[in-house]
Amino acid sequence: MRRTCLPLFLCLVATNAAAQAAPAREHFAPPGWEGSYHGLHYTPVLRIGDRVIVSGIPASEGETDEAKIRWAFQQLKAHLEKAGATMEDVVELQSFHVSRDHDDFRKRVEPVLKVHREFFKDHYPAWTAVGTTALFSKDAPMEIRAEAIVGSGAKARASIPVPAAK
């Protein structure tokens, strides 16, 4: 009897410990984004422990591409704040840009670089920019998604030397 109970007991203890160690999964939506969760069935902002994942935000509000891109970065900031993170906590960005070819892609990234510099003054996140033929939001020139680690921006440091001028 003892031989059978001990493995079962250890299995139950291990299962309980694993369940307690797993961080909670919290879903958030800033004001105006609730339809994403209830209508489109995706979470605008997901927090798991200290990790925050922001779903793609289309650059869709504004008169110019630069204004639309700035609006998307402002929305990113609001999304992060909803989950307790800041722009300084962003560790990774991914951006998707509507473009015809490589030259068009490089042209379309220029206003993104300008706006990016306004929001990320130092301690830049990792960033992957991808060209594509279409986005879910028809008139958006780009879409941005991000991941953040809450509190990581407070102690950010970089030991990367400035390259010598050529």
In tens digits, the chain (166 residues) has pLDDT values of 555 666 666 656 666 665 678 889 999 999 999 999 999 999 999 999 999 999 999 999 999 999 999 999 999 999 999 999 999 999 999 999 999 999 999 999 999 999 999 999 888 999 999 999 999 999 999 999 999 999 999 887 888 888 998 8
Whole-prediction pTM value?
0.84
Beta-bridge partners for 47: 26, 52
- Sign of the C-alpha dihedral, residues 71, 77, 80, 84? negative
| Residue 118: predicted pLDDT | 96
Q: Which helix (H) or strand (E) holds 125?
A: none
Evaluate whether 72 touches 146 at the Cβ level (below 8 Å).
Answer: no
**Residue 113: left (phi > 0), alpha (psi -120 to 50), or beta?**
alpha
- What are the strands, taking DSSP E only, across 3-141? 25-28, 45-48, 51-58, 90-98, 126-132
Q: Which amino acid makes up residue 110?
A: E
Among 151, 129, 153, 148, smallest CA distance to 45 is for: 148
Among 32, 92, 88, 94, smallest CA distance to 60 is for: 32
What end-to-end distance do the CA atoms of the chain give, in Å? Answer: 78
Q: CA of 114: how far to CAs of 67, 73, 76, 151, 162, in Å?
A: 11, 11, 16, 26, 20
